[in-house]
Structure 1
Amino acid sequence: MWSSAAAGLGLGLGLIVAIGAQNAHVLRYGLRRERVGLVVAICAVSDLVLIAVGAAGVGTVIAASPTLTVVMTLLGAVVLVAYGAAAARRAVRGDGTLVVDGTAPVAARPDGRAAAMTVAATTLALTWLNPHVYLDTVVLLGSLAAGQGDGRWWFAAGAGVGSVLWFTALGYGAALLRPVFARPVAWRVLDAVIAVVMVAIAAGLVMGLAEG
């Protein structure tokens, strides 16, 4: 029981800590202290749902459907490229709206329901339209959970706890890096790195399909 939970926690953290679309998104909003709770909640709850789905055996169904795999991969690549392009644009333009003192212009830091819906939509897209998320949670963790026998749900619970802990730490712990990002150039570098990572992941997905 506890060994299965510990294994799930360790593997879950090992998979999620790697740089990816979700982590870059959470980090960026954590640094800005904008909608951190919303972003963290969406990412964490989504992971919990996907891990549970995988543990229930749905991962084997997805892996057995080449057509579904191709569609999900291509759609995910498009989303990642779009997000990367937006980050590249911010890096080139050096938007002065990315400040850490909470005094960004109203036009750049929209408040209210519309802003929350935009952030939520972007976060949901980077989560649910990202093939890597399905591969890590539904397919890989789901398959490993199945191998735990009666302890599969404990394994899934451990992986879920790891996901919640990581996103919470990343979102709220990003504030510790705020002194570094007091300089506009730091934001440009971060956005440039995000753009490269997003495009690289998308390219890797497409190349994987071609090789397959």
Structure 2
Amino acid sequence: MTTTLLPALLGFLTGLSLIVAIGAQNAFVLRLGIEGRSRVILPVVVICAVSDGVLITLGVLGIGALVAAAPAVMVVIRVVGAGFLIVYGLFAARRALRPTALVTAAAAAPTGLRTAVVTALAFTWLNPHVYLDTILFLGSVANQQGPDERWWWAGGALLASCVWFAGLGFGARLLRPVFARPAAWRVLDALIALVMLALGLRLAFGL
């Protein structure tokens, strides 16, 4: 029992330490959760968690060596991802300059399911760091656990992803009373703009 639970627990804690951070993906899920768009949140949470599961599995299978050996592909992902983040950051900055209350924001042109799905996929798969964090880092740590224990470790990391994104997406609605004021949206969107632009510029200049 200990030989399975301990690797799973270590995988859970390691995975959680990587994803609990202010980033583009988390900021997007947080905003959807606060807006209370229940029809959209579940698919986005599933996309984020399943994507992590696929990447972690590839890392455990040793695909990290192929990723490290394909710098040209990573450059393309970095450039496209940087452009996407910068554009999204500019939209967030514009919202910060023209904030609206939660009721108004929810009533005016809500994010459609298709748009939310495409955006979640872009935030996940156009971020070069996700390949470094999941395929290379988590994959290498998992493979240090032994042939059997590594899959328990990977399962713990995947569970961390599921718990985090579900909690972030569905728990964010508790903040809705705070975001009934336009000033709260201004602060949130300003922070999102700073995060997106900083990440985008960092990718663009290869920092």
TM-score for the superposition, normalised by structure 2: 0.90
Structure 1 partner of 2:49: 44
Alpha-carbon displacement from aligned partner over 1:95-130 (angstroms, at most 9, x marks no partner): x3x51x48843x5226xxxx2111111111111111
Alpha-carbon displacement from aligned partner over 1:116-154 (angstroms, at most 9, x marks no partner): 111111111111111122221112111111222212111
Match of 1:53 among 58, 80, 86: 58
Q: SS at 2:21's partner residue? A: coil
Percentage identity across paired residues of the two chains: 54
**CA contact under 8 A between 1:31 and 1:178: conserved in structure 2?**
yes
Letter of the 1:185 partner, please give it. A
Structure 2 partner of 1:170: 168
Match of 2:28 among 25, 28, 32: 25
Consecutive unaligned residues of structure 1, counting only runs of 5 or more, are none
Matches within 5 A, 1:145-160: 145-150=142-147, 151-160=149-158
Q: SS at 1:208's partner residue? A: coil
Task: Give the distance between the partners of 1:19 and 1:67, measured in 2 at CA.
Answer: 28
Consecutive unaligned residues of structure 2, counting only runs of 5 or more, are none
Please state how far the C-alpha of 1:68 moved relative to its aligned partner: 2.2
**Which one is further off, 135-144 or 199-208?**
199-208
Task: Give the distance between the partners of 2:47 and 2:58, measured in 1 at CA.
Answer: 16
Please state how far the C-alpha of 1:9 moved relative to its aligned partner: 0.5
Structure 2 partner of 1:90: 95
**CA contact under 8 A between 1:72 and 1:129: conserved in structure 2?**
yes
**Taking structure 1 as reference, are residues 3 and 72 closer, same or farther at Cα in structure 2, changes over 3 Å only?**
same
Structure 2 partner of 1:144: 141
**CA contact under 8 A between 1:80 and 1:130: conserved in structure 2?**
no
Structure 2 partner of 1:11: 14
- Alignment pair present for 1:130 and 2:127: yes
Q: How many residues align?
A: 201
TM-score for the superposition, normalised by structure 1: 0.88
